[in-house]
């Protein structure tokens, strides 16, 4: 009973916390740049760096198991597992065998799939999605229709609700059409005006793929994305194929000791349903660092990869924005693109520095309720400071903007745009995700 209660709480709170993390990741980084010499990124240096990080941080962050791949161009500099995939079974993490839940990193695969259809001329980024949906239709609500681009860059204006996303049993997972038919949230903001991170929007992308191709989302992804990328140990299927089920890591929370979450399934497969090994993820990273090519397979055209990684929407020039699938990251004078992911008991980050031809995928079976919530973020900062440090001492300050009214008018409590529901009792969770703004000279 206790485990069921923990899972229910996790399923309720996880989307809220995760949406907040995504929004916070786009905030402006105002920091004093450091002067230091960079370490050349080689297989030897990155292995030494990661080994040391894992040795010191896994215990302090309550992370039982982790896997990482670091890619440079078409070469894998590091692919390694650390710790335990299953504590009770004494099963270690094996980088090319252990499957972790990819959570919202699944969205990058879904975005890749729909961009294939854009390349083929079967879908247009500026098309009204009702033009292509046959399973359901969205009611007209605003002057401008909801477009494919809106779905990909999280500017849909959809409300944020999370009941119904998770299921205890695989047989209870609904088809995308059925789930969205009675769980699609209302739209409260006009499309194209506001970034509001939303899982239902990407589930709509999956339904769009089904309606346009006539294939199930799972089958399309296997044939056109995972297959060409030779990701043979990865799948969107629920349940997983029998040969992969025994290789899945156990997701843990930490309360004085590690406690496993009971496994659950998701109705939002295109947004959070992927299971993958870290070694398989290296193939996806390679494709997005090498103009859409992995080995002999051209999964996307070079111009499409550039579109996905470019800034397609931002609230202000100094703020981080979003591409198609990817979010922006700025640190130490470099621009990166990334996506975080998580399910109860799992967290991960896919991170690319396109101009350097560098990328990594870090995944682990730790939980957001303990120190593990900072594990991938701390890794990113240390990675950047070690291999790509700032070389000039500069202070980045915000541009002064005349307010036309007293600054005290702006004091008060704020919340992330996508962190609450407007019309259900789930709006109570917004109380957990507020921050104060006060005057300080």
Residue 178's pLDDT is 97
The DSSP element (H or E) to which 112 belongs, if any, is: helix 106-119
The DSSP element (H or E) to which 10 belongs, if any, is: helix 2-24
Digit-coded pLDDT (tens) for 261-282? 999 999 999 999 999 999 999 9
Instruction: Specify the length of the chain in residues.
Output: 441
Distance, CA of 424 to chain centre: 26
Digit-coded pLDDT (tens) for 193-217? 999 899 999 999 999 999 999 999 9
Are 273 and 177 within 8 A, CB to CB? no
Give the span between the Cα atoms of 420 and 399, in whole angstroms: 30
The DSSP element (H or E) to which 260 belongs, if any, is: strand 258-260
Residue 37's pLDDT is 64
Specify the long-range contacts of residues 429-438, CB closer than 8 Å, at least 24 apart.
429/12, 429/13, 429/16, 432/13, 432/16, 433/16, 433/17, 433/20, 436/411, 436/412, 437/410, 437/411, 437/412, 437/413, 438/411
The vertex-55 CA angle with 52 and 56, nearest 5°, equals 90
Give the span between the Cα atoms of 234 and 383, in whole angstroms: 27
Give the span between the Cα atoms of 154 and 156, in whole angstroms: 6
Digit-coded pLDDT (tens) for 289-327? 999 999 999 999 999 999 999 999 999 888 899 999 999
Residue 371's pLDDT is 79
Q: Which residues pair with 335 in a beta bridge?
A: 330
Comparing CA positions, the residue from 146, 144, 145, 220 lying closest to residue 176 is 220
Structure tokens of 339? 């996506």
Give the span between the Cα atoms of 367 and 373, in whole angstroms: 6
Sign, Cα dihedral of 211, 214, 218, 220: negative
Residue 418's pLDDT is 61
Q: Which residues pair with 147 in a beta bridge?
A: 128
Structure tokens of 221? 């992804």
Give the span between the Cα atoms of 183 and 186, in whole angstroms: 9
Are 53 and 216 within 8 A, CB to CB? no
Does this model's pTM top 0.85? My answer is yes
Residue 22's pLDDT is 44
| Domain extents in the chain | 2-402
What is the domain class of 2-402 according to CATH?
Answer: alpha beta
Are 338 and 345 within 8 A, CB to CB? no
Concatenated DSSP letters of 345-408 = TEEEEEEEEGGGTEEEEEEES--TTSGGGGHHHHHHHHHHHHHS---S--B--PPP---SS-GG
Q: Which residues of the chain have pLDDT under 70?
A: 1-37, 392-403, 417-431
């Amino acid at each position: 009973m206790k485990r069921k209660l923990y899972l229910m709480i996790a399923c309720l709170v996880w989307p809220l916390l995760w949406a907040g993390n995504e929004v916070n990741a786009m905030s402006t980084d105002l920091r004093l740049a450091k002067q230091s010499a960079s370490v050349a990124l080689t297989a030897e240096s990155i292995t030494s760096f990661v080994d040391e990080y894992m040795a010191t941080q896994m215990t302090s962050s309550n992370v039982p198991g982790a896997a990482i791949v670091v890619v440079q161009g078409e070469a894998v500099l590091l692919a390694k597992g650390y710790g335990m995939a299953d504590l009770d079974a004494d099963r270690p993490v094996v980088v090319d065998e252990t499957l972790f839940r990819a959570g919202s990193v699944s969205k990058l695969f879904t975005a890749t799939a729909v961009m294939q259809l854009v390349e083929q001329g079967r879908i247009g980024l500026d098309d009204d999605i009702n033009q292509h949906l046959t399973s359901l239709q969205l009611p007209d609500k605003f002057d401008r229709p909801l477009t494919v681009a809106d779905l990909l860059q999280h500017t849909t204006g959809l409300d944020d609700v999370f009941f119904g996303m998770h299921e205890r049993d695989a047989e209870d997972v609904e088809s995308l059409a059925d789930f969205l038919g009675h769980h699609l949230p209302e739209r409260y903001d006009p499309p194209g005006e506001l970034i509001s991170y939303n899982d239902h929007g990407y589930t709509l992308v999956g339904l769009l793929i089904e309606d346009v191709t006539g294939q199930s989302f799972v089958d399309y992804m296997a044939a056109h994305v995972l297959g060409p990328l030779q990701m043979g140990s990865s799948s969107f299927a629920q349940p997983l194929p029998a040969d992969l089920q025994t290789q899945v890591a156990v997701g843990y929370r930490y309360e004085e000791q590690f406690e496993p979450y009971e496994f659950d399934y998701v109705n939002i497969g295109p947004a959070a349903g992927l299971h993958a090994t870290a070694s398989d993820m290296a193939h996806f990273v390679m494709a997005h660092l090498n103009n859409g090519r992995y080995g002999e397979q051209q999964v996307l055209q070079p111009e499409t990869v550039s579109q996905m990684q470019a800034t397609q929407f931002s609230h202000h020039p100094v703020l981080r924005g979003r591409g198609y699938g990817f979010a922006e990251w700025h640190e130490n004078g470099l621009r990166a693109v990334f996506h975080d992911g998580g399910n109860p008991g799992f967290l991960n980050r896919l991170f690319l520095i396109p101009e350097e031809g560098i990328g990594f995928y870090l995944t682990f079976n730790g939980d957001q309720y303990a120190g593990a919530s900072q594990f991938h973020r701390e890794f990113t900062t240390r990675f950047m400071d070690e291999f790509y440090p700032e070389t000039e001492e500069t202070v980045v300050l915000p541009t002064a903007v005349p307010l036309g009214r007293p600054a005290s008018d702006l004091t008060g409590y704020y919340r992330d745009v996508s962190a609450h529901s407007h019309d259900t009792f789930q709006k109570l969770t917004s109380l957990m995700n507020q921050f104060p703004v006060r005057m300080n000279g």
